[in-house]
Structures are given as structure tokens and as C-alpha cells.
Amino acid sequence: MSSTDAASLPAGPTTSPVVAMARWLFTPLAMLDGLSKQYGNVFTLRLPRLPEPFVFFAEPEAVRALWHGDPDVLRAGEANELLRSVVGAHSLLVLDGDAHLRERRLMLPPFHGDRMRAYGAAMRDATLRELARWPQGRAFPIHGAMQAITLDVILRTIFGVGAEAAQLAPLREALVRYTTLGTSWLGTALLLLVPPAQASRIQRAATGPFGALLPWAHISRAQQDTDRLVRALIADRRRAGTAGRDDVLSMLLDARDDHGAPMTDDELRDEMLTLLLAGHETTATALAWAIHHLLANPTWLARLRAELAEVVDADGHVPLDRLDRLVLLDAAIKETLRLTPIIPLVGRRLARPTTIAGHALPTGTTVMASIYLVHRRADLWPDPTRFDPGRFVGKKPDPTHFFPFGGGTRRCLGMAFALYEMKIVLATILATVDLAPAPGRPVRVVRRGITFAPSGGMPVVATTRSVPR
């Protein structure tokens, strides 16, 4: 980058990039708040081992430019490059251009309309199975319980793996191990500090003669075990055939692109792993935050329970065909995602010099739309730190003001699936179980990999329960 380019960048901190990375690792939201207070809604950040700058925007005009700009210039896949070692080179998250469009078209049908709603019974049943295991009268981490539900849902709807399948237990164990280790401090540091080109060397080193002595060996082995089991499931499904099956894997095995070509095993592996990791961890965290906000706001919790009482059947279930009547619950989910977005940023890397919201930026700049900061702008969201689902009742939010799933052609493919699952899971829990915050266990935001979760697993106490039999 030339000195002229550097001079034209928005202002930002002049501290060492190493210090900036340390702050981003340990106090990311406080860092965003502080930089926004000091520099306004646009600022530049530099990170170690990355020569090109990151420019953060909390401006709806900039968000609109990212959603509607030329995708050949605004490269989302390149901005997500650090995820390549986690989800693979064929994941939608790291693809750009024609490759991204082809993959997205192949993957869209399983998440569209009636097909997605067909998964509702599996979501409700997974919730009821988990509720039956909850302890009574003592604190337990509800984030872990939400992870158990979302993992069960993913395995059944994405892979079509039922409780009786021999592959279920080892795959569940490998995924839990990989997610837990991958979101640890070591996993986060490896993800954010190690350039993608070197990640494969680290993985190979872990399998070498002295690999067990390396600090990241457990993470690499968990990743390898998950990869092996996912590939085995794909191979088994190819041999058994897809007739009569409605899970996502089967639909993708049958899918063909515009040239009649199917997805390869490598493509299937990467997309299945992307769905497993993204759909499991992010939805579980959002559910835990929703519980947190509702317990902290008993007036809203009472209003939601009253709404649920109008739709439950004689057995205490929420019929799936009545979900659309849960307007307040839908609003509470959206307000949860506004106030505590699971991922605070969405990025694009510039393939050539581009002007964004009046700022001329050089090639190579990664433009970051700050979900967290935009969602907390007082001019867009009055009293922005207050939990108020009423903001969303009878209103359709501007996609440049509210974008927890990104936007434009890169909006999260699983958005409708996640929102539908959250509605079913929360409706089932609130209709059958009374919860209270665990005393003396205040909740704060903590980093889990690239996501932001409630501390301590969000401990709660189930004070009464009436789980339908």
C-alpha cells in the first residue's frame, strides 16, 4: 500500500497491531465501543501479520453499499479466509464469484419454504427430549443444554441420523469435542493469529511423531475425527441411496448444477461441516441469550407466557401450525439478535480501489460492517441497551439497520432455519418449564471462537417443570 493510500484511510488507533490483536482477543466489544466513542462510526484498525488494513463502518450507507455493490469487487469469501482451515476450501463461507453462486444454488432448496417447515417436528421433539433430562432445583448451564438441542436437530435434519444410528454417538462426541476445543482460547488464538496458509502445516505437525506433545494436538485430532466421520456418512449415504429421504445431505446428493454436475465428496464434506458448526454453535448461543434477556425482563416474559397460553393444546404443546400467532416471541428473538448479535461483524475484501460511504479505500482493504455497533446506534434504536421486543412488533426492520445474518447475496443461507428453530425451541421451553437465573452468577459476554456467548454457560435453575409425556 502506498503512503498516499495509507494517508487516505479513516483515522484509527496508532497503538501496536499486536496490542490491537490482544484487545480484540480479550475485550472485543469494549474495544469496539471505545473505538466508536473515540473515532465515530468509521475507523481503521491494523492487525499483526496482515499488511492490509481493516476499516470498520457503523454507517447504514456503508452497509447498503456492501449489500448491493459488485460482488466481484466486494469479496466476502476472501474476507472469511481465516475460516478456510476450519470449514474447508469449498465452503460457501470462503467462496466468491461463480463458485459461490453455483454452490448457493445447489444448497438453497433444502432451506426454502415448506421444506424447512417439515423439520419442525424434529426440532420440537429434540427440545422435549432435552427437557426431560434437566435437573430440578439446582443450577445448570443452559447454553450446554441449548447446544445439545441444536446438535440433535442438525444431526437429524442435515444428516438424517436418528438416535438408533451407529454413527450418531461417535459423530456427536467428535463434534462436541471439536467445538469445545475450537472455541477455547487456544483455538481462538490459532484461528485469529495463524495465517490460513500455515494452518495446514500445523494440522500436519499434530499427526507427526511428536504431534501429541504440541499444544494444539487435541484440536487437530478432534477436527480429523469429525472430518473422518462426516466423510463416512457421505459414503454410506451414497451406497444406500437417497430414495424416500428428506434430509439435507440426501437432497444435496441428488442436486445438480446448471451443467448437470453433482457436488463432489469434498464439496459435500465442506458444506456439511459448515452447516454442522454454524447451525449448531450459533443457534445454541442465540437461544441462551434469549433465555437470559427474558429472565432479566420478567414483564416481557409474562407477556410471552400469556401469548403461549393462547395457542398451546390440551397436552401443553405448541402446535406447529400455530407458530405464526406467536408475534411477541418472534419479536423477542429479533430483539435478542439486535442486542446480543452472535457474530459482531461481517466483512468484504476489496478487489480494487473502491469508495464506500464517501471514503476512498485502496485494494486489499477489508471493509467490516459492524453488526454490534449499528445495532446499538441511539439514532436508529432509541435507548439502545434496553431489551424491548416492541421495536419489532408490526414492523419490518431496515436491512441496513438490523442484519444479524448479514445481507445481500451473502445473507446466511440458514437464516430462516435458525429463526424457525429458535421459535420452536423457545416456545416449547417456555410452555413447559419455569426457569430462574442462578443466584450469585452474573452473566457477561465472553468470546467463544468468532462468536460471543454468555459467561459460565448461562446458569439457570429449573424451579418447576411440567414436561408433556
**Cβ–Cβ under 8 Å, residues 79 and 366:** yes
Which residue shows C-alpha cell 437417497?
A: 242
Residues 6+ apart with CB under 8 A from 124: 317, 318, 320, 424, 428
- 51 burial level (CB within 10 Å; 0-12, 13-18, 19+): exposed
Identify the sign of the CA torsion 88, 92, 97, 101: positive
pLDDT of residue 223: 80
- The pLDDT value recorded for residue 446 is 87
pLDDT of residue 466: 53
Q: Are 411 and 71 in contact, with CB atoms under 8 Å apart?
A: no
Nearest residue to 121 via CA among 316, 313, 319: 319
Per-residue pLDDT, 110: 86
pLDDT of 210 reads 46
**Dihedral angle of Cα 201, 207, 209, 212, to the nearest 10 degrees:** 110
- Cell numbers linked to 208: 507427526
Give residue 469's pLDDT.
40
The dihedral through the CA atoms of 30, 180, 273, 146 has a sign that is negative
| Sign of the C-alpha dihedral computed for residues 171, 172, 175 and 180 taken in this order | negative
Cα–Cα distance for residue pair 76/407, rounded to 1 Å? 11
C-alpha cell recorded at residue 312: 398451546
Among 360, 110, 359, residue whose Cα is nearest residue 248: 110
Q: What global pTM score does this model have? A: 0.91
The CB density around residue 138, as the number of other CB atoms within 10 Å, is: 9
Residue 223 three-state SS: helix
Residues 427 and 96 sit within 8 Å (Cβ to Cβ): no
Q: What is the pLDDT of residues 343-389, one digit of tens each?
A: 999 999 999 999 999 999 999 999 999 999 999 999 999 999 999 99
DSSP secondary structure string, 100-152? HHHHHHHHSGGGSHHHHHTTHHHHHHHHHHHHTT--SSSEEEHHHHHHHHHHH
Alpha helical stretches, state H, 321-468 = 327-339, 371-374, 415-432
Q: What's the helix, strand, coil split of the chain in %, to 5?
A: 55, 10, 35
- What pLDDT sits at residue 86? 82
Burial code (b: 16+ CB inside 10 Å, e: under 16) for 18-46 equals eebbebbeeebbebbeebbeebebbbbbb
For the chain, which residues score pLDDT lower than 50? Answer: 2-4, 210-211, 213, 467-469
Q: What is the pLDDT of residue 419?
A: 95
Q: What is the DSSP letter of 359?
A: E
Q: How far apart are the C-alpha atoms of 313 and 259, rounded to whole Å?
A: 49
Cα–Cα distance between 85 and 93 in angstroms, integer? 12
Q: What are phi and psi of 462, to 5 degrees?
A: -85, 105
**Average model confidence (pLDDT) for the chain?**
87
Structural domains for the chain:
3-455 (1.10.630.10)
Q: What is the pLDDT of residues 293-328, one digit of tens each?
A: 999 999 999 999 999 999 998 888 889 999 999 999
Q: How many residues are present in the chain?
A: 469
Residue 240: count of CB within 10 angstroms of its CB: 10
Residue 302, sorted as left (phi over 0), alpha (psi -120 to 50) or beta, turns out to be alpha
Whether the Cβ atoms of residue 60 and residue 52 lie closer than 8 Å to each other: no
Tell me, what's the pLDDT at 41? 97
φ and ψ at residue 415, rounded to 5 degrees? -60, -55
Tell me the longest C-alpha to C-alpha distance in the chain: 71
The pairing of strands 54-57 and 366-370 is parallel
